[in-house]
């Protein structure tokens, strides 16, 4: 799936769990190995590092699944609780 810069995404990562992120540049989730994402939720707890809102987070194809968010405000409210 082709993702454009600025698209808000639900991310399910094998190491970092579930979080909301924004694409920092265009990418193709079926062809690109690494996804250029910036954290949109307050904090993401990884296995050995934590990422805060606004930080780039390394996300690799095969280790995570991305899905575009349809209604960003409602999704952020759900994930911030």
In CATH, what class is 2-69?
Answer: mainly beta
Give the pLDDT of residue 75.
64
Domain residue ranges of the chain, discontinuous segments joined by + = 2-69
- At residue 10, φ and ψ (nearest 5 deg) are -90, 130
The structure's pTM equals 0.83
CA distances from 35 to 2, 22, 63, 77 (A): 11, 10, 11, 24
Q: What is the gyration radius of the CA atoms in the chain, in angstroms?
A: 12
Q: Which residues contact 17 (CB under 8 A, 6 or more apart)?
A: 44, 45
CA distances from 30 to 1, 27, 59 (A): 6, 9, 13
Tens of pLDDT, residues 3-27: 999 999 999 999 888 999 999 999 9
């Amino acid at each position: 799936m082709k993702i454009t810069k600025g698209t808000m995404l639900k991310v399910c990562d094998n190491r970092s769990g579930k979080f909301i992120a924004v694409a920092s540049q265009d990418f193709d989730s079926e062809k690109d190995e690494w996804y250029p994402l910036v954290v949109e939720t307050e904090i993401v707890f990884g296995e050995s590092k934590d990422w805060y809102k606004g930080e780039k987070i390394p996300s690799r194809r095969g280790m995570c699944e991305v899905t575009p968010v349809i209604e960003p405000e409602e999704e952020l409210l759900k994930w911030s609780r």
